[in-house]
């Protein structure tokens, strides 16, 4: 007597083919999702590093405007930058006043927070602020001992996955291109 139906071997082969057909696209989707998260974090860190460099430039340019309004070179163009000898500091762009927006780090700089109400990164606490994985440090150093050229280094670090730390570093040079109180 012949029975109709599938044998155990035929069923195992069919299930194996089905698993292979589903596992490939699922693996590809997981890798694509991981790459998208990494790209998002890399883009965010690049913008955070660029933002810190622009904040230092803002201080220098604000001092230029102060000197121009005073009609003489009364303010050092780099006044308000917490340190120009290479000690790290943080930048919080929510404030125009450098004494509030730039603070020296005692040891490693603190991680940034994110304000869900304003969509800004900073060092706020309380309602609407969430901790992030990003830590931003800024250094300003004289180039070759010059008092007229300074290198601004902005570095953003974050942890991607369980163990891998990522870093984005941006360097730019700022110049003392107008006379100020340090000029003789």
Question: Whole-number mean pLDDT of the chain?
Answer: 89
pLDDT band at residue 2, thresholds of 50, 70 and 90?
low
pTM, two decimals, is 0.81
The pLDDT tens digits of the residues spanning 63-85 come to 888 888 877 778 888 999 999 99
Gap between the Cα atoms of 107 and 77, Å rounded: 27
Q: Which helix (DSSP H) or strand (DSSP E) does residue 68 occupy?
A: helix 8-70
Nearest-angstrom CA–CA distance, 135 and 166: 11
* Strands, E assignment, 19-176: 89-91, 102-104, 111-115, 120-122, 129-142, 149-160, 164-175
Residue 183 has pLDDT above 90, yes or no: no
The DSSP secondary-structure symbol of 85 reads B
Region class of 10: left (phi > 0), else alpha (psi between -120 and 50), else beta: alpha
**What is the SS3 string spanning 86-127?**
CCCEEECCCCCCHHHHEEECCCCCCEEEEECCCCEEECCCCC
pLDDT at 18: 87
* Contacts (Cβ under 8 Å, ≥6 apart) of 93: 51, 55, 101, 120, 121, 122
CB burial string 81-120: b at 16+ within 10 A, e below: bbebeeebbbbbbeeeebeebbbebeeebeebbbbeeeeb
Q: For 33-63, what is each residue's pLDDT tens digit?
A: 888 888 999 999 999 999 999 999 999 999 8
**183 φ, ψ (degrees, to nearest 5):** -75, 150
Residue 3: the pLDDT is 66
How large is the average pLDDT for residues 147-154?
Answer: 94
- Determine the distance from the C-alpha atom of residue 102 to the mean position of all C-alpha atoms in its chain, rounded to a whole number: 15
């Amino acid at each position: 007597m012949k029975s109709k139906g599938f044998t155990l071997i035929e069923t195992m082969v069919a299930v194996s083919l089905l698993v292979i057909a589903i596992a490939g696209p699922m693996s590809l989707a997981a890798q694509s999702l991981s790459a998208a998260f990494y790209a998002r974090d890399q883009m965010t860190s690049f913008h955070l590093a660029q933002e810190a460099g622009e904040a230092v430039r803002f201080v220098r340019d604000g001092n230029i405007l102060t000197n121009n309004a005073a009609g003489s070179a009364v303010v050092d163009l780099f006044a308000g930058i917490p340190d120009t000898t290479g000690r790290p500091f943080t930048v919080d762009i929510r404030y125009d006043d450098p004494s509030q927006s730039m603070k020296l780090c005692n040891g490693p700089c603190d991680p940034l927070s994110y304000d869900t109400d304003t969509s800004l990164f900073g060092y706020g606490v309380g309602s609407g602020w969430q901790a992030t994985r990003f830590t931003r440090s800024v250094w300003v150093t004289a180039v070759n001992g010059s008092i007229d050229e300074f290198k601004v280094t902005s570095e953003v670090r974050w942890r991607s996955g369980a163990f891998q730390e990522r870093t984005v570093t941006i360097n730019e040079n700022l110049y003392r291109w107008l006379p100020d109180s340090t000029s003789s």
